[in-house]
Amino acid sequence: MATEQVPPIADEMPTPVPETPVVEKVDDPGVHADDSGYRQPEVDVEALRVLLDGRYREVRDLVRTNLAEHAQILRDEEEMSRADFRERVKEVVVMMAETGQTGMGFPAEYGGGGDIGASIAAFETLALGDLSVLVKVGVQFGLFGGAILQLGTKTHHDAHLADLVSGRTMGCFAMTETGHGSNVQALGTVATYDVEAQEFVITTPDDASRKDYIGNAAAHAELAVVFAQLDVAGERHGVHAFVVPIREGGRVLDGVRIEDCGPKMGLNGVDNGRIWFDRVRVPRTALLNQFAEVTPEGRYLSPIDNPNKRFFTMLGTLVQGRVCVGGAGINAAKVALAIALRYSVRRRQFEATSPDEEQVLLDYGMHQRRLLPLLARTYALHFAQEVVAGQLHDVFSGPGPTEEGGDEHARRMLESRAAGTKALGTWHATRTIQECREACGGAGYLSENRFTALKADTDVFTTFEGDNHVLLQLVAKGLLTDYAGEFEDMDQLGMARFVAGLAVETVVERTSVHKLVQSVRDLLPGGDRWDQEAGLLDPNYQLAMLRFREEHMIGGVARRLKRGIDQGDNPGAVFSRVQDHVIAAARAHTERLVLEAFVARTAALPDGDLKVALNLLCDLHALSTIEADRAWFMEHGRLSSARSKAISREVNALCRKVRPLAVDLVDAFGVPPEMLRSPELLTWGT
């Protein structure tokens, strides 16, 4: 590494986006590759921050204030031992709990704020700071607390919520096992009901069934929500959740064995551990009985008769975790961009336009190409996350899944959208942080400039709360089956058989995309040549391109599944052969939803510079997305070589227009200067 000295670098919620927005085309003299007559907009940073913060601005500001007050923890991670840093993280989490920011999703009678939307906003904003704190908050209040709130009843709420909301009782969420990751239905831990003692006996039958990677388990948790196969009188009733004490006064209880997972790639302020249970007894009331009950005499009762439906209903209540992780990834990307873009208008390299003065990095076209499309995608994902968070708030503030009027279809669509947004948001974080690190050169390699922690701590986001590829399979299942009731009974074999039994046209028609594309073709000039003659910056054209890709991919998956089944092939083998197409279709679907969210949000703004600026970003995001998959569009006859080149020219032009706005656009994220590790960054500019 060079020895050169380098500076430290460190409103109202919108209604859910309609599935089929058709945007009235507005001629804008400032959105063409020809820059003649273009008037550069100015960004009101505070107004844009208010827009991004939405209805929970006060909540987000509370979290920002708390982050600034505990900024020292960013240095503590580098200077403390792992054991000491774990204690420091716990201390910060408890202090934050005292401010109310971590309990906003819990009922007011237990010390919470009674607002799920506020809790998501608080968690997302917490991702601007130390991510060990974020994850420990997620384990304590999201997973452990959320399980007791959503899966338990008043008995459990009265017994535990006030103490866990305040941080007086620490807990963990013991679902994942060494031998069973995403396949939760196959967990090996067993809870056997002893009718005479009216107790459940929790047992780990083998090492494959040990609970693994469990946050809070290695040092701090006193209680665990344990997921286990329920056995009553020799009959298995599937996976259920139990509240199980594992420590008292810091001592691990008899029958419980805990092992530290040891050093990790990142998040070493979180005490991950492994847990074994050797005939641990808990009272009958330890069963979290929102969806099932075992009577004293040993009768199993549930308002949901179908065991698969019961299982998926139970897991569906925990969808908030995926929504929160996706939002956290997007916010971590904001931090990386704030650092990299501020550095890029401070750092100079070579004489480009004058022999007397070196040029700042962001004035180079390649540097703009590296960072500005990522900035545009971050804004797009922010608005997509805003939609899914709003849907979560609406669904879980309405009737429950077992009550009259509970909208199960809306819940399934929420689970699918949350899965897709989480996958794209966390992959985006990984890519953005790496690109930003490289764009800062040697300065980006210094720990004090945060990329060390950002890279290490966010890398796991792509696999926890569901591996992203597995989540996209969930999205594809919903698309292919139209979120049908039968979907709950389906593994991948069942889905293959189900789809093969339909006409392929029916599968495509179920998505409604075919009708959407046709309607947009009718609106755009050129009729059947809509993809060649429409304006590149017409949002209807941009949406039609993504919808066409989605429709074609979904139809392709259906045709391949049907052909394999019709030939008599094993359904599992057929599904495995088309798995790459399944993932691609789900990703295309989610990218379409992301663009729709961005288009709808900008279309709703009043005319003015802010709308012009966000339209520039929206166009940059849309055309960058098409450009990134230009090979597919060309293979399928939707891009000529000339039009493909025109898109690249337009992306370059949009980067030039966004470049003067870049610092204002990242300032609007509201990253506290203390979280940049270098307050002077706020004064860096052109």
**In this predicted model, what pLDDT tens digit does every residue of 49-78 receive, in sequence order?**
999 999 999 999 999 999 999 999 999 999
The whole-number average pLDDT for the span 37-54 is: 92
* For the chain, domain boundaries: 173-314, 469-604
pLDDT in tens, 413-453: 898 999 999 999 999 999 999 999 999 988 888 888 899 99
Identify whether the C-beta of residue 310 lies closer than 8 Å to the C-beta of residue 245. Answer: no
Bridge partners, residue 281, by sequence = 201
Average pLDDT across the chain, whole number: 86
- Using a pLDDT cut of 90, give the percent of the chain over it: 66
The whole-number average pLDDT for the span 226-247 is: 96
What local confidence, expressed as pLDDT, does residue 594 receive? 98
Radius of gyration of the chain (CA): 26
Bridge partners, residue 174, by sequence = 226
If we measure between CA atoms, which residue out of 466, 482, 317, 325 comes closest to residue 395? 317
Length of the chain: 686
Q: Using DSSP bridges, classify how beta strands 223-232 and 190-194 pair: parallel, antiparallel or unpaired.
A: parallel
Phi first, then psi: give them for residue 30, nearest 5 degrees.
-105, 20
Retrieve residue 455's tokens. 């890279």
Start-end of H helices in 131-256: 131-137, 145-151, 154-156, 162-166
Give the pLDDT band (50/70/90) at residue 354: low
Phi first, then psi: give them for residue 364, nearest 5 degrees.
-80, 135
The whole-number average pLDDT for the span 35-59 is: 90
What local confidence, expressed as pLDDT, does residue 568 receive? 83
pLDDT in tens, 86-108: 999 999 999 999 999 999 999 99
If we measure between CA atoms, which residue out of 365, 331, 347 comes closest to residue 443? 347
Q: What is the DSSP letter of 14?
A: P
Give the pLDDT band (50/70/90) at residue 216: very high
Give the pLDDT band (50/70/90) at residue 22: very low
What local confidence, expressed as pLDDT, does residue 522 receive? 63
- Using a pLDDT cut of 70, give the percent of the chain over it: 82
pLDDT in tens, 493-550: 566 666 666 555 566 555 555 555 666 566 666 666 666 767 899 999 999 999 999 9
Q: Collapse the DSSP code of 351 into the 3-class scheme (helix H, G, I; strand E, B; otherwise coil) and give the result.
A: strand
What local confidence, expressed as pLDDT, does residue 682 receive? 41
- Which amino acid type is present at position 11? D
Could you give the CA distance from residue 514 to residue 520 in angstroms, rounded to a whole number? 10
What local confidence, expressed as pLDDT, does residue 32 receive? 39
Highest mean pLDDT among 479-493, 527-541, 594-608 belongs to: 594-608
If we measure between CA atoms, which residue out of 211, 223, 330, 209 comes closest to residue 282? 223
| DSSP structure string for 564-590 | HHHTT--HHHHHHHTHHHHHHHHHHHH
Identify whether the C-beta of residue 170 lies closer than 8 Å to the C-beta of residue 140. Answer: yes
The whole-number average pLDDT for the span 243-266 is: 97
Could you give the CA distance from residue 414 to residue 393 in angstroms, rounded to a whole number? 10
CATH code for 173-314?
Answer: 2.40.110.10
pTM, entire model: 0.89
The answer for 241, left when phi > 0, alpha when psi is -120 to 50, beta otherwise, is: beta
What local confidence, expressed as pLDDT, does residue 474 receive? 87
- Is residue 2 over pLDDT 70? no
The whole-number average pLDDT for the span 590-618 is: 97
pLDDT in tens, 107-156: 999 999 999 999 999 999 999 999 999 999 999 999 999 999 999 999 99
The whole-number average pLDDT for the span 655-673 is: 96
Could you give the CA distance from residue 498 to residue 560 in angstroms, rounded to a whole number? 13
What local confidence, expressed as pLDDT, does residue 34 receive? 45
The whole-number average pLDDT for the span 37-47 is: 88
**Cα separations (Å) of 448 from 182, 442, 678?**
36, 12, 9
Give the pLDDT band (50/70/90) at residue 489: very low
Retrieve residue 131's tokens. 């991510």
